[in-house]
Amino acid sequence: MIGIQLPVQVAIKLTSWPTNGKSRIAGVSSFGFSGTNAHIVLEEAPSHQVKNQKFKVESQNVVERPVHIFTMSAKTEKALADLVNSYQSYLEAERNHKDLGDICYTANIGRAEFNHRLALITSEHEQQELIEKLKQYKQGENVPGICSGQITSQTKTKIAFLFTGQGSQYLQMGRQLYQTQPTFQKIIDQCSEILGKYLEFSLLDVLYPAQVKDETSTLIDQTAYTQPAIFSLGYALAKLWESWGIKANVVMGHSVGEYVAACVAGVFSLEDGLKLIAMRGQLMQQLPSGGQMVSVMASESQVIEAIEEYSSQVTIAGINGPESIVISGNSGAITTICDILKNMGIKTKQLQVSHAFHSPLMEPMLTEFEAVAKQVTYNQPKIPLISNVTGEEVGAEITTAEYWVGHVRKPVRFAQSMKTLEEQGYETFLEIGPKPILLGMGRQCVTEDVGEWLPSLRPGIEEWQQMLSSLGQLYVKGAKIDWSGFEKDYNRQKVALPTYPFQRERYWIETKNKFWSKQQLSTDQNLHPLLGQKLNCAGEQQIFASQIGEKSPNYLSNHRVFNQALFPTTGYLEIAIAAGNHQLKTPQIVIEDLTISRGWILPAGELTNAQTILTPTDSQSYKFQIFSQLEEEEWKLHTTGKIRKESTPPPQTKIDLEKYKSECNQAIEVKQHYQKCQQVGIDYGNSFQGIQQLWSGSNQALAYIKLPEELITQTSDYNFHPALLDAALQVISHALPPTDSDQTYLPVGIEQFKVYKNPGLSL
């Protein structure tokens, strides 16, 4: 036998459990007569002092930030509403008893994050303001400081950092952050120390002069100081965002802003970047003045033609939009060109600049600047970087002195750069700079209504207020925030907060209908509210299954014909579009030859099984059938049609709305429209009363349509919400010749329907 000594003691009676300074561990076994066989290892709980330990920072004299962000999330809209109520009651009871910073810290860092999200921006120490924001959110008020949204499978969280260029500078930019944000302050101080080798006055004196009329108060507008100041602020903002978990998937800068973008992407070090930009600014400052820069509201081809005769003196300095071109060069030549453009009816605007940047007047500095650029150590970008010189993603070519010398003279291709970002699928743009200049220009360069455009700073708004407002928007859009990094510069302590409001749903397994057995359902569930889940079936056919009822989704009960809930034609269209999107992997879908052979009555209080069956006709198209089945009944075919991928690009020409307004000049009372529908047996409830304004003309009609407020939160779940599209179909009745007939007409087929993108909330 082998003797084994274990450092354990078997308790056979009530025994004290002394501590020796180490964590105490016990094992509990259960071997029962009925077959119980279990063992659990327990460790003593952490001490109360450890549990309530504060989130410590190195400095104990940190100035508290003046604004906080409070976030919450839930799995459903109802759960989020319940959570809002819980927090309102909690805050009203705990008013002034707990630190607001600790409440926000615990809510942000101590809760799981779900898809239905809410972020509130509130002032320091003001719990009453947070209570009011919760009330305003419940009442649906659209006020600053409230951000809400739902994350779906279509939500894109790729972020593009846009770095602002020269012309955005102003005194005191970033001062509030410098005074109350240690990470930001540390980086600005670091930049100031490095720039001390190159600048006569310190960066801090340039940014934050002691007196407004101090001799340093005008330095911010001198090119030698402007460029390093913009670089330093942009770099500090970028690093602050990164410390909060907001990291760029791609970077792009406008002119001077590209130096910051390159530094953030790792093309050169901070020391080399500041040296390069400081020397660039000084060499430009030493050039004689006398040049001009003018913004021209015309196309690039028009401007090229206008300046052709003066090409040795004037060049295009920037292409900022389809009809936003900047020219730069000799003042006399610029004045002559502007007179020519004015006679052509083209608007121009002189820019307030010290020198004619990106023009032939820059050439005297290029040789000396090249010598400086050759002293820099370059690396391949570690983050994708869009070049202003080419308008495309850049690689090894940016790691040469020649690139940065050419950057001084060549035009800024901002419009093409934005197009490249759009083509790469970017829809979230965060401007890194003192004011939002690039956001407005960027909107003009991409498809209309595309993108989330967020500034870092905005003059006239407190810096913390703007930063946290943009952070809140990023949070509700699905960005992953590093809340520990966000709070690392401040003393925080966890406090007790309301728990998650579980919805207590019943999950009883119904075995009556074997079709719905779990084994038959694929793991690709919850594709769409109407299309449902994709079944795992053999063969080439693709089958989707769902359960639909009068109140599932709830808006269907608002579509009634002769007092019965009737599944709308637009519902069939939406099912087909969703199925097409899933199978063809594109939002651009064409539905053809849709035929409704039987109406789908939705019985009260009972769910109907539904199946959508796709049969491939080739690699780019399917035939579809939509069936329904009540318990113990046969399957009924309702709709057939074809789905294919749209091969032609979306139309680029905009609708001449003014033309249609002039032709449809007879206003129709919206209330009268719905009363007339009711008279012929079609009863549209609130969810299907989307028409806001209505006009008619000769065999045509025009309307402003908006999705009813109670359905707004559902928009992201649909490609084209059936209630919104149904309102559009309602308008057709006013384009038909008038008739005295009181007959009821319902759609029985659609020859062709094309979808290019989600229309959003209104038409």
N-terminal to C-terminal alpha carbon distance within the chain? 87
**63 compared with 194, residue with greater pLDDT:** 194
Give the three-state DSSP class for 105.
helix
pLDDT of residue 217: 64
CA–CA separation, 472 and 466 (whole Å): 10
> Which of 311, 336, 353 is the last residue before a domain boundary?
353
pLDDT of residue 47: 61
Instruction: Identify the CATH number of the domain in which residue 664 sits.
Output: 3.10.129.120
Residue 39 in tokens: 């063992």
Residue 490 in tokens: 């401040």
Q: What is the DSSP letter of 120?
A: E
Give the three-state DSSP class for 744.
coil
Looking at the structure, tell me whether residues 626 and 663 fall in a common domain. no
Looking at the structure, tell me whether residues 339 and 365 fall in a common domain. no
Residue range 214-225, pLDDT digits in tens: 555 689 999 999
Closest residue by Cα to residue 72 from 132, 130, 11, 14: 130
The bridge status of strand 682-684 relative to strand 559-561 is: antiparallel
Average pLDDT over residues 465-492: 95
The range of the structural domain enclosing residue 338 comes to: 291-353
Q: Is residue 759 part of a domain?
A: no
Angle of helix 270-285 relative to helix 223-243, nearest 10 degrees?
Answer: 160
Write the CB contacts of 21 (distance below 8 Å, at least 6 apart in sequence).
Answer: none
**HEC-encoded secondary structure of 617-650:** EECCEEEEEEEEECCCCCCEEEEEEEEEECCCCC
Among 166-170, 417-421, 741-745, the minimum mean pLDDT is found in 741-745
Q: Is residue 595 part of a domain?
A: yes
Looking at the structure, tell me whether residues 323 and 380 fall in a common domain. no
pLDDT category of residue 451 using cuts at 50, 70 and 90: confident
Instruction: Identify the CATH number of the domain in which residue 296 sits.
Output: 3.30.70.250
pLDDT of residue 646: 86
Q: Is residue 488 part of a domain?
A: no
> Is the pLDDT confidence value at 34 over 90?
no
Instruction: Decide: 260 and 270 in contact? Cβ < 8 Å.
Output: no
Among 273-277, 592-596, 667-671, 735-739, the minimum mean pLDDT is found in 735-739
- 457 CA to centre of own chain: 18
CA–CA separation, 350 and 537 (whole Å): 67
> Is the pLDDT confidence value at 524 over 60?
no
pLDDT of residue 519: 39
Looking at the structure, tell me whether residues 523 and 628 fall in a common domain. yes
pLDDT category of residue 514 using cuts at 50, 70 and 90: very low
Q: Is residue 201 part of a domain?
A: yes
pLDDT of residue 651: 77
Average pLDDT over residues 458-485: 96
> Is the pLDDT confidence value at 42 over 90?
no
CA–CA separation, 124 and 458 (whole Å): 20
CA–CA separation, 761 and 763 (whole Å): 7
Q: Is residue 628 part of a domain?
A: yes
Looking at the structure, tell me whether residues 307 and 265 fall in a common domain. no
Residue 664 in tokens: 């449809």
Looking at the structure, tell me whether residues 284 and 424 fall in a common domain. yes
Average pLDDT, the chain: 89
Instruction: Identify the CATH number of the domain in which residue 370 sits.
Output: 3.40.366.10
Q: What is the dihedral of CA 184, 186, 191, 194, to 10 degrees?
A: -170
pLDDT of residue 96: 64
> Which of 477, 506, 531 is the last residue before a domain boundary?
477
> Which of 314, 335, 353 is the last residue before a domain boundary?
353
Looking at the structure, tell me whether residues 362 and 340 fall in a common domain. no
For residue 68, the surrounding DSSP H or E stretch is strand 67-74
Number of folded domains in the chain?
4
**450 compared with 399, residue with greater pLDDT:** 399
Write the CB contacts of 40 (distance below 8 Å, at least 6 apart in sequence).
Answer: 27, 28
Helices (H), 42-174: 48-51, 77-93, 100-109, 127-138
pLDDT of residue 482: 96
> Is the pLDDT confidence value at 558 over 90?
yes
756-761 CB contacts, 8 Å cutoff, 24+ apart = 756/587, 756/588, 756/646, 756/650, 757/587, 757/588, 757/650, 758/587, 758/715, 758/718, 758/719, 758/720, 759/720, 759/724, 760/449, 760/715, 761/706, 761/707, 761/712, 761/715, 761/724
Average pLDDT over residues 499-521: 63
The catalytic residue positions are 559, 726
Q: In what order do the strands lie in the sheet with 564-565?
A: 564-565, 559-561, 682-684
Q: Does the pTM exceed 0.75?
A: no
Among 149-158, 218-227, 509-518, 727-736, the minimum mean pLDDT is found in 509-518
Q: Is residue 143 part of a domain?
A: no
Residue 226 in tokens: 């402007």
Looking at the structure, tell me whether residues 230 and 329 fall in a common domain. no
Please report where in the chains the tokens 């703007």 appear, as a residue: 466
CA–CA separation, 321 and 419 (whole Å): 10
Write the CB contacts of 192 (distance below 8 Å, at least 6 apart in sequence).
Answer: 202, 203, 204, 232
CA–CA separation, 93 and 91 (whole Å): 5
Q: Is residue 440 part of a domain?
A: yes
pLDDT of residue 517: 41
pLDDT of residue 511: 54
Average pLDDT over residues 630-646: 92
Looking at the structure, tell me whether residues 230 and 363 fall in a common domain. yes
Residue range 111-146, pLDDT digits in tens: 999 999 999 999 877 789 999 999 999 998 888 999
Residue 738, preceding peptide bond in cis (omega within 30° of 0): no
CA–CA separation, 271 and 264 (whole Å): 12
CA–CA separation, 429 and 553 (whole Å): 34
Report the share of the chain in percent with pLDDT over 70: 93
Q: How far is CA 16 from CA 9, 28, 45, 676, in A?
A: 12, 16, 17, 84
pLDDT of residue 516: 45
**30 compared with 578, residue with greater pLDDT:** 578
pLDDT of residue 215: 56
pLDDT of residue 729: 93
Q: Is residue 184 part of a domain?
A: yes
Among 86-100, 450-464, 522-536, 717-731, the minimum mean pLDDT is found in 522-536
Burial class of residue 57 (count of CB atoms within 10 Å of its CB; 0-12, 13-18, 19+): middle
pLDDT of residue 448: 82
> Is the pLDDT confidence value at 522 over 80?
no
Write the CB contacts of 146 (distance below 8 Å, at least 6 apart in sequence).
Answer: 118, 119, 120, 121, 133, 136, 137
**658 compared with 616, residue with greater pLDDT:** 616
Q: Which of 141-155, 319-333, 727-741 has the highest mean pLDDT?
A: 319-333
pLDDT category of residue 533 using cuts at 50, 70 and 90: very high
pLDDT of residue 25: 87
> Is the pLDDT confidence value at 51 over 60?
no
Average pLDDT over residues 560-587: 93
CA–CA separation, 203 and 576 (whole Å): 61
Looking at the structure, tell me whether residues 268 and 386 fall in a common domain. yes
- Kindly write down the DSSP assignment for every residue of 519-576, as one continuous string: GGB-S----BTTTBEEB--SSS-EEEEEEEETTBSGGGGGEEETTEEB--HHHHHHHH
Looking at the structure, tell me whether residues 253 and 368 fall in a common domain. yes
Looking at the structure, tell me whether residues 582 and 559 fall in a common domain. yes
Q: Which of 222-236, 638-652, 705-719 has the highest mean pLDDT?
A: 222-236
